[in-house]
Structure 1
Amino acid sequence: ENRHQDIHLYVNSPGGSVTATLAIYDTMQFLECNVATYCVGLAASGGAVLVAGGAAGKRFILPHAKMMIHQPYGQVGGQVSDIEIQAQEILQTRETLNKILAAHTGQTEEQIGKDTERDRYLSPIQAKEYGLIDEIVVPKKKPQAVTQEAKDAAGKK
């Protein structure tokens, strides 16, 4: 309805297709409104890219969630020429993902490359220090329900 109202995207994902990740990421960047992102549970691989790609100042993680970054996986097969083509594509994809993470975290592309050589899991504090998210969401204390017994006791005073 309102093209300028924030969209809230909750991510709990082990990752998946790089093509799908980049399609969602590009859409998030294209929209006129801000996209606030929330890591709930696990945001791994492409899920981490989506959380990090949220609007600056509006990237959140829950206290017991985790994030994981790594280089893209590739399954290559076929003729040697096909393997070369697929390998080149995977390398270009890795470079693209490193640029995206660098743009949103403040880390250099070189640092991202080193840090994603293997699976790197980050706690909420580590994710914030790394620049993947802006804030750790701390649950607000809920008001205690007032029982009839408590009401009766208060009325007698």
Structure 2
Amino acid sequence: MLRRGPPGASGRGTGKVGEVGFRNEPVLERWAGAAPAEGAAPAAGGMGDQVFDRLLRERVVFLGQSVDDEVANRIASQLLLLAADSADDIQLYINSPGGSVSAGMAIYDTMQYIENDVMTTGIGFCASMGQFLLTAGTPGKRFALPHTKILMHQPSAGLAGTASDIRIYAEQLTRTKREAAELIAHHSGQDVETIVRDSERDRWFTAEEAVAYGLVDAVMSAPAAFPGATARQGAGFGSIAR
């Protein structure tokens, strides 16, 4: 059951046994830290951290790498922080080749748990768990940039150990495959068996094909206001062209 509470699939196997791959300023200040005093040495993270801090202040979360536990903890904590800060929409930009299913599910569950709408936008490459999270955005607010490539496939894992252990892991992988297919079907409007069939092998989509399939709602291109976004969000981070 998909349910939201108050604030407050998959990638290829990694080789690890059994791991399946598929505006309240004070609140934000405490998370990002105050700007350094004039003449002070820059923070250890450098310009990259400053960019992500600035994006966070604009209610933008950026997933730009493979999904593992560390990345999932960061993304989930940012979503929770922004949900506690304001009821406004949160924008999640995704450029990810996929990763761990368990880590990705932590992000997914957080997206469903918070009351805020989560607008997802695919840029570059959204594969496997990246595709799953892109499709899991709030209905009507799931976008892809024009040249985004989207890949859907079934979970996989590297297995080792005794015959009994491998059988247990295989059963778990089968359950994970079915669960992922059911969730993608729920968010895309496709039936479960269609998702199971189409994800048996790598299934590639252009941005337009992803719209037709139901993985996203529209292709984003022109910088104009779009439904559900504030004027600043629309002007600063793009909009849709249907």
- Report the TM range for the smaller structure's normalisation: 0.7 to 0.9
Q: Is the 8 A contact 1:3 1:32 kept in 2?
A: no
Within the candidate set 192, 200, 205, 1:109 is matched to 192
1:136 aligns with 2:213: no
**In structure 2, C-alpha distance between the alignment counterparts of 1:119 and 1:95, rounded to whole Å:** 16
**What code does the residue aligned with 1:39 have?**
G
Runs of 4+ in structure 1 off by over 3 angstroms are none
Cα deviation, residue 60, structure 1: 0.4
**What code does the residue aligned with 2:157 have?**
G
**In structure 1, C-alpha distance between the alignment counterparts of 2:218 and 2:114, rounded to whole Å:** 22
**In structure 1, C-alpha distance between the alignment counterparts of 2:181 and 2:96, rounded to whole Å:** 19
Matches within 5 A, 1:118-157: 118-140=201-223
Report the aligned-residue RMSD.
1.1
Within the candidate set 30, 34, 42, 2:117 is matched to 34
**In structure 1, C-alpha distance between the alignment counterparts of 2:160 and 2:108, rounded to whole Å:** 28
**In structure 1, C-alpha distance between the alignment counterparts of 2:88 and 2:203, rounded to whole Å:** 34
Cα deviation, residue 66, structure 1: 1.1
Percent identity, aligned pairs only, is 44
TM-score (norm 2): 0.57
Residues 30-59 of structure 1 deviation map (CA, whole Å, 9 limit, x = unaligned)? 011000000000110000010100001000
Residue 91 of structure 2 aligns with which residue? 8
Within the candidate set 149, 166, 189, 1:66 is matched to 149
Larger radius of gyration: 1
Residues 96-125 of structure 1 deviation map (CA, whole Å, 9 limit, x = unaligned)? 100110000000110000000011110011
**In structure 1, C-alpha distance between the alignment counterparts of 2:94 and 2:150, rounded to whole Å:** 10
TM-score (norm 1): 0.87
**In structure 1, C-alpha distance between the alignment counterparts of 2:154 and 2:86, rounded to whole Å:** 34
Q: Is the 8 A contact 1:102 1:108 kept in 2?
A: yes
1:46 aligns with 2:132: no
Secondary structure in 2 matching 1:107: coil
1:99 aligns with 2:179: no
